[in-house]
A and B are shown apart, each in its own frame.
Chain A
């Protein structure tokens, strides 16, 4: 029996789709069977990030309207055997599906997959309400900025109202240097405001943008720091204890320094 996890943020542009694509790919790389669902109907992106845009024949609205079967609409990833994408429709809008229809669809997918990741549209309107309807768990993505944290807080409140288990937090596009200047919020500050468990901190990495444009999630790039952070998030989702990358790096620096000075 698979687990459905909605990836949401409230604010747009903080990296919901990128996070969905990367966590999904990382889970599949570990060997789990993963299905990504893009619920941003009318503004689909996830297929582009995954480099699967040209393979779309049917989409989620076709499945719900029973124009096709689920397995006809599911697109297998070009690199990963165990990763599938259910793309959003581009020519319809949010009113094309209802919460109940999506709930039924996810119930159907549960038997076939270990993880079902639902990529949620920005905002808290009907699209958001539909996306969270079938979810067991939630991942809230935010950046260390006041605007994103405010919206994340609002979204956590709404998720609590829907009785979805306490959401987990991913802080995206974190820049250590800017924290030192006081330009952005620190990890501790964000966590203390939102008072939810931290699932991971993704460092700001231009590789992610490059990878997204190339249609190949950053997780595939072994040299990418963000990719490593996403792989750690996937391991934490599976219940492993993995130290935070930011702290880990700092420790290494300290160790190197000590070594250099001859203390260690």
Chain B
């Protein structure tokens, strides 16, 4: 005997637009599959071709991650007339992992001083030779980096170290240590960033960062999120 399956995605029409109720007991992948089926299946496609519509999504008690949100928005992007207006969980923020917060600090890190930071760090000031900046996240320096910078010290290999004047004595990302060439050209002191590629630290111009980390490109993100 066939079991009566409660739909994991329930759609209701209101005068303000469409309400999507997602079942919060089933795995999110099942919910997404059902959503894909309902939105993209050939049989139903004619239903969706209509005027622009505002969509509200109720996630129930479930919270989702940023990548799950991206997957969800990707499915909706196939229907150009549906605009996600709101995403909601009951009584809690819908995102499990709120975007990483960056802290802003000012001051010079002088020889013998160590600035330790949890998370991403924006330092408005210089790091002098013999000074050290260590962070578990990214390090951005609006000033001159002349000392040591250690990013991703907890094991994050995806972080970068960037500085307006890039003249470090040593760079460390996660557990990889590198030192710049002994001879610097004047032109190499400008704004640069360092990242890990093939278990080595590479240094590149700021304008190349969007190719290396396309997921951080603002155009890419605004395209996905409509």
Stretch at the interface among A57-65, A148-156, A221-229, A247-255: A148-156
Residues in B neighbouring A195, C-beta threshold 8 A: 108, 126
* Interface mask (A170-203 → B, CB under 8 Å = 1, otherwise 0): 0000000000000000000000111100000000
* Interface mask (B43-73 → A, CB under 8 Å = 1, otherwise 0): 0000000000000000000000000000000
Q: B38 an interface residue at 8 Å Cβ cutoff? A: no
Tally chain A residues at the interface, Cβ within 8 Å: 13
* Interface mask (A148-170 → B, CB under 8 Å = 1, otherwise 0): 00110110111010000000000
| Closest CB in chain A relative to B147 CB, distance in Å | 10
Stretch at the interface among B3-11, B109-117, B150-158, B195-203: B109-117
Residues in B neighbouring A154, C-beta threshold 8 A: 110-112, 130
Tally chain B residues at the interface, Cβ within 8 Å: 12
Residues in A neighbouring B138, C-beta threshold 8 A: none
By the criterion CB–CB under 8 Å, are A193 and B146 in contact?
yes
By the criterion CB–CB under 8 Å, are A150 and B126 in contact?
no
Give the residues from 131 to 184 in chain B that come closer than 8 angstroms, CB to CB, to chain A. Answer: 131, 144, 146
| Closest CB in chain A relative to B8 CB, distance in Å | 60
Residues in A neighbouring B112, C-beta threshold 8 A: 154, 157-158
Residues in B neighbouring A151, C-beta threshold 8 A: 111
Task: From A146, A156, A192, give the contact of B110 (CB < 8 A).
Answer: A156
Residues in B neighbouring A153, C-beta threshold 8 A: 110-111, 128-131
Measured in the bound complex, the distance between the Cα atoms of B126 and A157 in whole Å is 13
Measured in the bound complex, the distance between the Cα atoms of B129 and A157 in whole Å is 12
Measured in the bound complex, the distance between the Cα atoms of B111 and A146 in whole Å is 12
By the criterion CB–CB under 8 Å, are B108 and A150 in contact?
no
> Can you name the residue of chain B whose Cβ is closest to the Cβ of A159?
B110
Measured in the bound complex, the distance between the Cα atoms of B112 and A146 in whole Å is 15
Identify the 5 closest CB pairs spanning chains A and B, nearest first.
A157-B110, A154-B111, A153-B111, A154-B112, A153-B110
Additional pairs, 19, CB under 8 Å, beyond known A146-B129, A153-B131: A150-B111, A150-B129, A150-B130, A151-B111, A153-B110, A153-B111, A153-B128, A153-B129, A153-B130, A154-B110, A154-B111, A154-B112, A157-B112, A160-B110, A192-B144, A193-B128, A194-B128, A195-B108, A195-B126
| Chain B positions near chain A (C-beta within 8 angstroms) | 108, 110-113, 126, 128-131, 144, 146
Q: Report 9 cross-chain contacts, Cβ distance below 8 Å, ordered by A residue.
A: A150-B129, A153-B128, A154-B110, A154-B112, A154-B130, A160-B110, A192-B144, A193-B126, A193-B128
